[in-house]
């Protein structure tokens, strides 16, 4: 009732082109069609897309010589301006209603990628946590909102197994190496979650994968403290 009343006051419009929308959506179908989805070929390690034809599986230049703790990382969208606009709205403008349409894109990625399908129905979704102070400031956590919607769509269980014990300075201008040392000791397994994670296959969920430092550090904790058997990464955007 309240939602209807609010729809009357603020008719829903597309987040990208501002055209009026049918109820239930936050992005219109023409904008959704324009979103740059990642399909093969992409890097088998980090999900970076490759423009062109490649028959074989490939690993990108960035990944040569790197050891990622996670099994693989996959993203649904390329890091162009439209996806980043959506991430920005979700993250800094508290437009959490976007999470439903965005999780639908991530669900497609889960269905399309045989490596996720092999993980089966038992896989657990774990969102990358924010430090409580940052979460309070933003009034929510974008990774949690995406995981929650994804869990609703897929039926996969969701576990807030990780916590961020240390707030870190902003990572945007740091190299991968600097990010890794910046993140050391920033995450812990939450008390009482060992039983859930031990031996489990985990899909770690975040909004953006950039250098993979956050994914790497969270995986280390899930494997060492949580004894997870396998950790794969799913993000909305490959930044
Ligand atoms: Zn639109
Ligand atoms: Zn790569």
Which of these ranges, 123-132, 133-142, 170-179, has the smallest mean pLDDT? 170-179
Ligand nearest to the CA of 101: 1
Are 59 and 135 part of one and the same domain? yes
57 with 67, same domain: the answer is yes
Q: How far is the CA of 82 from the centre of ligand 2 (A)?
A: 22
Question: Can you tell me the mean pLDDT for 14-34?
Answer: 90
One domain for residues 28 and 129: no
- Adjacent-strand bridge partners of 42: 49
Are 4 and 61 in the same domain?
no
CA–centroid distance, 107 to ligand 1, in Å, is 21
> Looking at the predicted structure, is the pLDDT value of residue 54 above 80?
no
Residues 109 and 134 in one domain: yes
Looking at the fold, whether 27 and 81 belong to one and the same domain comes out as no
* Residues near ion ligand 2 (Cβ under 5 Å): 43, 45-46, 48, 60, 62-63
Regarding whether 2 and 51 lie in a shared domain, the answer is no
How far apart are the C-alpha atoms of 232 and 218, rounded to whole Å? Answer: 11
**pLDDT given for residue 56 in this prediction:** 76
Ligand with the closest atom to the CA of 32: 1
Taking the centre of ligand 2 as the mean of its atom positions, its distance from the CA of residue 73, in whole angstroms, is: 9
How many Å lie between the centroid of ligand 1 and the Cα of residue 120? 34
In a shared domain, residues 138 and 27: no
| Structure tokens belonging to residue 10 | 């603020």
Q: Are residue 40 and residue 148 in the same domain, yes or no?
A: yes
Give just the sign of the alpha carbon dihedral 210, 212, 218, 219.
positive
| Digit-coded pLDDT (tens) for 87-132 | 999 999 989 999 999 999 999 999 999 999 999 888 999 999 999 9
Average pLDDT over residues 3-25: 77
If one counts the domains in the chain, the total is: 2
Query: Is residue 61 over pLDDT 80?
Result: yes
Residues facing residue 188 across a β-bridge = 163
Based on the fold, state whether residues 14 and 50 are members of the same structural domain.
no
Q: How far is the CA of 170 from the centre of ligand 2 (A)?
A: 23
**Ligand closest to CA 41:** 2
Ligand 2 mean position to 49 CA, how many Å? Answer: 9
> How far apart, in Å, are the Cα atoms of 109 and each of 95, 97, 113, 163, 235?
22, 20, 6, 26, 10
Q: How confident is the model at residue 3, as a pLDDT?
A: 59
- Are 75 and 203 in contact by the 8 Å Cβ rule? The answer is no
Give me the pLDDT at residue 24, please. Answer: 76
CA 26 / ligand 1 centre spacing (Å): 9
Co-location of 174 and 105 in the same domain: yes
Which domain does 11 fall in, by range? 1-34
232: CATH: 3.40.50.2020
């Amino acid at each position: 009732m309240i939602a209807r009343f609010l729809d009357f006051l603020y008719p829903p419009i597309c987040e990208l082109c501002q055209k009026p929308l049918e109820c239930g959506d936050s992005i219109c179908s023409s904008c959704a069609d324009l979103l740059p989805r990642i399909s093969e070929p992409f890097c088998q390690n980090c999900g970076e897309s490759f423009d062109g034809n490649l028959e074989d599986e490939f690993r990108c230049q960035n990944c040569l010589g790197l050891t990622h703790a996670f099994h693989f990382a996959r993203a649904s969208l390329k890091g162009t301006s439209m996806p980043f606009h959506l991430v920005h709205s979700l993250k800094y403008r508290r437009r959490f209603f976007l999470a439903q349409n965005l999780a639908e894109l991530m669900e497609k990625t889960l269905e399309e990628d045989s490596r996720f399908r092999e993980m089966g129905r038992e896989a657990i979704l774990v969102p990358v946590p924010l430090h409580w102070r940052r979460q309070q400031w933003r009034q929510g956590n974008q990774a949690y909102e995406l995981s929650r919607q994804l869990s609703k769509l897929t039926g996969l269980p969701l576990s807030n197994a990780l916590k961020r014990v240390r707030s870190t300075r902003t990572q945007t201008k740091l190299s991968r190496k600097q990010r890794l040392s910046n993140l050391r000791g920033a995450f812990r397994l939450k008390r009482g979650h060992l039983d859930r994670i031990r031996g489990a296959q985990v899909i770690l969920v975040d909004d953006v994968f950039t250098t993979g430092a956050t994914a790497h550090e969270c995986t280390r904790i899930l494997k060492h403290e949580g004894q997870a058997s396998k950790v794969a990464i799913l993000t909305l955007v490959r930044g």
